[in-house]
Structure 1
Amino acid sequence: MRAFLWMTGALVSFCLMAIGGRELAGGINTFQILLSRSVIGLLVVSAVIWRTGKPELFRTQRLKLQVGRNLFHFVGQYGWFLGIGLLPLAQVFALEFTTPLWTLLIAALFLKEKLTTRKAVAIALGSIGVVLILNPGGDIVNPAALYVLGAAVCYALSYVATKALSTTEAPLTILFYMCLVQLPLGLLLSASHFVVPTPLQWVWLTLIGLSALSAHFCLTHAMKTAEVSVVVTLDFLRLPLIGVVGMALYGEGFKPMLLVGAALMLGGNLVNVYKPR
């Protein structure tokens, strides 16, 4: 029950972040959105660290890996928010579910993790799911879909780096350097397109910054209170939920093939994380 409540918080956070991104699309440059997210995140995480009374959390033992991880994460965020403004929300979320697929491949290539039969099945199911979602030759193919797929690859690279960092760095330290490294990137890239947000745009920017942190916070606690297979299954509910949001708020259609493709990717993820008792 606790895991369900934490995942509910994560699902709501992801949907709020997507709504904020859609509302700001065309009015605020994507780099400025990322800048605002980093500023808000840095303030909140710094306050939490000071509250814990552990200033050592501001220090890292692996600065180069922190920087490399956040370069990929920054590019991934850019592609995700770009897709939010150009594609139906459900398609963005469906394509984002390819991240575990890319993580398996990258871990096998760069961390020399063994590519087992179970992982191969997961990759095969995920690949079929991607083909169904993209529907080559159909009307759903959109160059923006490639941005989101690229974002998923970048997220996978950042997850692999996070896995390596987690052996020596605390979660709060990783979060702090995520905001610290990405803030100057957002500032530099948004300088030529910077606009003063309206009061309503400030609301959406703040919502994005806070929901990004709450999503990570809720997911972390869900992982602590339930098995990975349970969390992965509950996370799948993001797709129908954002589909309803897209239809209700933006009049978007929901293609059943998105659900079928994402279900195959879910099956692949469950095959990979399943552990016989």
Structure 2
Amino acid sequence: MLASASLFALMAVSIRLASAQLHPFQITFFRSAFGALFALPLLIGPGWSLLRTPRFGFYVMRCVLGMGGMLAGFWAIVNLPLAEAVALSYSSPLFVTIGAVIFLGEVVRLRRWSAVIAGFIGVLVIVRPGSAAFAPGSLVALLAAGLTGAVTISIKSLTGSEPADRIVLLTTLLWVPLSLPAALAVWQWPHADIWPWLGLSGALGTGGHYCWTRALRLAEASMLAPFSYLQLLIVAVLAWWIFGEAVDHYTALGAAIIIGASLYIAQREHALARQRRASTPQARAEPPI
């Protein structure tokens, strides 16, 4: 998870550098295309059998949601201060909790709902609706976070039965055709100095996705959550160093509230999952993933 957070932070910087010429929708396509190329070595050994799955329809649904989140997220990275875009992306666990109630029928009690409300207060601190500092683009960042929350729910389902290599490879391959229509609408050929950043975004994105999927298979999300927040620190430092962007007090305070709420939600989910395992003898007998 530490590697994943670091790679995704560097990917955000490469996306911003590529945006000197290209629209974020086109960057999304090249990130997907190069990402698929860097994922192809996963076929070494298992061969094309790695792509066979009884859950292909589920993959397509997950990739449609993921592509929507990627398009919105890349737009936010290009058009908002980097630290603000990443901080708002951390509201994703709040949407996961709401989605678990709506789509999975999960029972969420007062303490977790309180954390969700606190998290959205943190969002309001960053966004500051009604003030002169309000940027409508922040709503796009929140859309990306909501779609990422839906993807998180889906990937938790996949990691229980599908190998991490298949999840990464099928996802990256499906993203290429899904990202093409939006890219064609704003298409222009990249200049020579932009290609390295496009290739780097694909390599970093695939590496980050692979490490993230591996981490979710090896350990519970609640334990991994604190390590993922390293991304915000790296992005904040690099945004200051490369682009001269300083993190304002509102973004820092709002990010702290969102992260605190997300960590509390993760801790509560871990505690409840442990209680369920302890009360189910059959579950105790199952080997760890």
* TM-score computed with the length of structure 1 as normaliser: 0.88
Aligned mates of 2:185, 2:218 — CA distance in 1: 45
Structure 1 residue aligned with 2:137: 144
Structure 2 residue aligned with 1:110: 103
Aligned mates of 1:252, 1:42 — CA distance in 2: 32
Aligned mates of 1:19, 1:236 — CA distance in 2: 16
Q: Of residues 24, 27, 42 in structure 2, which corresponds to 1:30?
A: 24
Q: Of residues 23, 35, 42 in structure 2, which corresponds to 1:41?
A: 35
1:198 to partner: Cα distance: 2.3
Q: Of residues 19, 27, 46 in structure 1, which corresponds to 2:13?
A: 19
The Cα offsets for residues 43-84 of structure 1, whole Å up to 9 and x where unpaired, read as 222321x22325332112122221111111111111111111
1:11 to partner: Cα distance: 3.2
Q: Of residues 54, 57, 75 in structure 2, which corresponds to 1:64?
A: 57
1:173 to partner: Cα distance: 1.9
More divergent stretch after superposition (86-95 vs 132-141): 132-141
The Cα offsets for residues 193-240 of structure 1, whole Å up to 9 and x where unpaired, read as 322222321100011001111222333455566664453223223223
Report % sequence identity.
29
The answer as to whether partners of 1:61 and 1:168 remain within 8 angstroms in 2 is no
Structure 2 residue aligned with 1:253: 246
Residues 138-217 of structure 1 mapped to structure 2, 5 A cutoff: 138-217=131-210
Aligned mates of 1:85, 1:42 — CA distance in 2: 22
Aligned mates of 2:257, 2:227 — CA distance in 1: 15
1:163 to partner: Cα distance: 2.2
The answer as to whether partners of 1:58 and 1:173 remain within 8 angstroms in 2 is yes
Aligned mates of 2:161, 2:217 — CA distance in 1: 19
Shift in CA distance, 59/227, structure 1 to aligned 2, threshold 3 Å? closer
Aligned mates of 2:81, 2:138 — CA distance in 1: 10
Structure 1 residue aligned with 2:48: 55
Shift in CA distance, 226/167, structure 1 to aligned 2, threshold 3 Å? closer
Aligned mates of 1:42, 1:225 — CA distance in 2: 24
- What's the Cα RMSD here? 2.2
More divergent stretch after superposition (183-192 vs 78-87): 183-192
Aligned mates of 2:216, 2:202 — CA distance in 1: 22
Give the residue type in structure 2 aligned to 1:202. W
Aligned mates of 1:238, 1:42 — CA distance in 2: 23
Structure 2 residue aligned with 1:268: 261
More divergent stretch after superposition (200-209 vs 227-236): 227-236
Aligned mates of 2:67, 2:123 — CA distance in 1: 23
Structure 2 residue aligned with 1:10: 4
* TM-score computed with the length of structure 2 as normaliser: 0.85
Give the residue type in structure 1 aligned to 2:31. R
Give the residue type in structure 2 aligned to 1:129. G
Q: Of residues 233, 237, 243 in structure 1, which corresponds to 2:230?
A: 237
1:168 to partner: Cα distance: 3.2
The answer as to whether partners of 2:91 and 2:119 remain within 8 angstroms in 1 is yes
Give the residue type in structure 1 aligned to 2:10. L
Q: Of residues 190, 212, 216 in structure 2, which corresponds to 1:219?
A: 212
Aligned mates of 1:237, 1:47 — CA distance in 2: 28
**Unpaired runs of at least 5, structure 1:** 1-5
Structure 2 residue aligned with 1:129: 122
1:77 aligns with 2:73: no
1:249 to partner: Cα distance: 1.3
Give the residue type in structure 2 aligned to 1:99. S
Shift in CA distance, 229/133, structure 1 to aligned 2, threshold 3 Å? same
Aligned mates of 1:176, 1:224 — CA distance in 2: 16
Aligned mates of 1:87, 1:126 — CA distance in 2: 20
Shift in CA distance, 139/249, structure 1 to aligned 2, threshold 3 Å? farther
